[in-house]
Amino acid sequence: MDTVTSLLDSIADVGRDPVRGGYTRPVYSAAELDLRAWFSEQAGRRGLAVDTDRNGILWAWWGEPQRGALVTGSHLDSVPGGGAFDGPLGVASALVAVDVLKARGVEPNRSLAVAVFPEEEGSRFGVACLGSRLLTGAIDADRARNLSDDDGNTLADVARRNGLDPRLLGRDEEALGRIGDFIELHVEQGRGLGEDGPAVAVGSSILGHGRWKLSVHGQGNHAGTTLMEDRQDPMVAAAQIVLAVRQVAAGRRDARATVGRLQPVPGGTNVIASRVDLWLDVRHPDDEVTAGLVEAIHGKAQKIAAFEGCTATLTEESFSGTVQFDAALQRQVGNALPGAPVLATGAGHDAGVLAGFAPSAMVFVRNPTGISHSPEEHVEDADADAGAEALADVLEALL
Ligand code: GLV
Ligand code: MN
Ligand code: MN
């Protein structure tokens, strides 16, 4: 029988990033397509029937597709230079959990599906959890079709090239109605599970989070001929805005704010940029506080930009309010995993989007480094096995 580690080993060479380290597996890249094919093959080996819905979500069915099924799964796309476990751990564990349930002789009284959600990280089209947002209608389909990647490919184009009809992207009542309960197993992304205690935890909530694009407009010019006092340099404003972001978040308990991506346009060593785009990630348990933090950052950005002879504009790319998982389902998961602590997470997940439409819950597996979205993310083999057993226990209790 496969183990989670043997399954992850079988995809260990897919999407390795020789420049950043770790894995770069953006949605519908060659790497992610390889992983989708790998998933379909693994599901087929287990006798699960795989289909792709109109939003590109993969569903592998044990039993007939039916309303109110039990669904588990995660994602296969990654952030740039991410770790091996964020997403694939949940998918591999779901496949192994099916093996465990079959070995235990479990005969489900409702169908079980393993689902793979595309673009969970939003690293290609900018909107996190794009697959589950499309499925649930949490994103307007026209807006989604027009999202574009860094090379100017729209989601509509990319969907078409991958066999989907872009006109059909968007809320899918039939697929949504099939989710009776959703359970996502995921690598823990902080230091919530200590070295000596249990290897798995039950999720309680997801921290509210959103992404905003801040564009600072200046005057593109020559690095040699433009006197320092004559410049309207958006990079100088952007540098100060990054510091202001930290200052605003540091002044508010439980707030997190990050600028992890910054792009000068046109981006030449001897060119004063005409524009700098910064992407802002802001998180707080209270959604009103998040809105206030973003407003404060925007205000500071405008002042800083004006002082440098520039202007700053802010656009929301996505927002997900704080989610408390369904209390009854969380209790059932907890009962199936006696001794497992209950943990909140600061990371976003498809389970958070689906929670608004079907009872959803999460199981976290220990990450001894406490690091994620980085090659240093890690799960020990024994903990990965414990995670798949725990997922099987949860699924068995719910089947
Ligand atoms: C996804 O991992 C996120 O929290 O942004
Ligand atoms: Mn992630
Ligand atoms: Mn993830």
Ligand 1, atom 5, lies closest to the CA of 348
Distance 98 CA to ligand 3 centre (A): 21
> What global pTM score does this model have?
0.97
Model confidence pLDDT, tens digit, residues 383-392: 999 999 999 9
Q: For position 136, what pLDDT does the model report?
A: 98
Task: Report the atom number in ligand 1 closest to the C-alpha of 281.
Answer: 5
Q: For position 150, what pLDDT does the model report?
A: 95
Report the chain (399 residues): mean pLDDT per 10 consecutive residues.
Answer: 97 98 98 98 98 98 97 98 98 98 96 98 97 98 98 98 98 98 98 94 98 98 98 98 98 97 98 98 98 98 98 97 98 98 98 98 98 98 98 98
Q: For position 372, what pLDDT does the model report?
A: 98
275 contacts: CB under 8 Å, gap ≥ 6: 215, 216, 217, 218, 220, 234, 264, 265
Task: Report the atom number in ligand 1 closest to the C-alpha of 86.
Answer: 2
Q: For position 55, what pLDDT does the model report?
A: 98
**Ligand 1 binding pocket mutation candidate from 373, 374, 377 (most atoms within 8 A of CB):** 373
Task: Report the atom number in ligand 1 closest to the C-alpha of 348.
Answer: 4
Distance 280 CA to ligand 3 centre (A): 19
Question: Ligand nearest 83 Cα, by number?
Answer: 2
Distance 129 CA to ligand 1 centre (A): 9
Model confidence pLDDT, tens digit, residues 102-121: 999 999 999 999 999 999 99
Q: For position 41, what pLDDT does the model report?
A: 98
Tokens for 182, please give them.
């959703």
**Ligand 1 binding pocket mutation candidate from 25, 117, 120, 121 (most atoms within 8 A of CB):** 121
Q: For position 103, what pLDDT does the model report?
A: 98
Distance 279 CA to ligand 1 centre (A): 14
Ligand 1, atom 1, lies closest to the CA of 348
Task: Report the atom number in ligand 1 closest to the C-alpha of 79.
Answer: 2
Q: For position 228, what pLDDT does the model report?
A: 98
Which residue ranges have their beta carbon within 6 Å of ligand 1?
121, 128, 347-348
Distance 56 CA to ligand 1 centre (A): 20
Distance 121 CA to ligand 2 centre (A): 6
Question: Ligand nearest 256 Cα, by number?
Answer: 1
Q: For position 289, what pLDDT does the model report?
A: 98
- For 163, 269, 291, 337, the CA distances from 241, given in Å and listed in that order, are 42, 21, 17, 45
Q: What are the chain's domains?
A: 4-207+322-398 (3.40.630.10), 209-320 (3.30.70.360)
Task: Report the atom number in ligand 1 closest to the C-alpha of 346.
Answer: 4
Q: For position 325, what pLDDT does the model report?
A: 98
Distance 106 CA to ligand 1 centre (A): 34
Model confidence pLDDT, tens digit, residues 324-360: 999 999 999 999 999 999 999 999 999 999 999 999 9
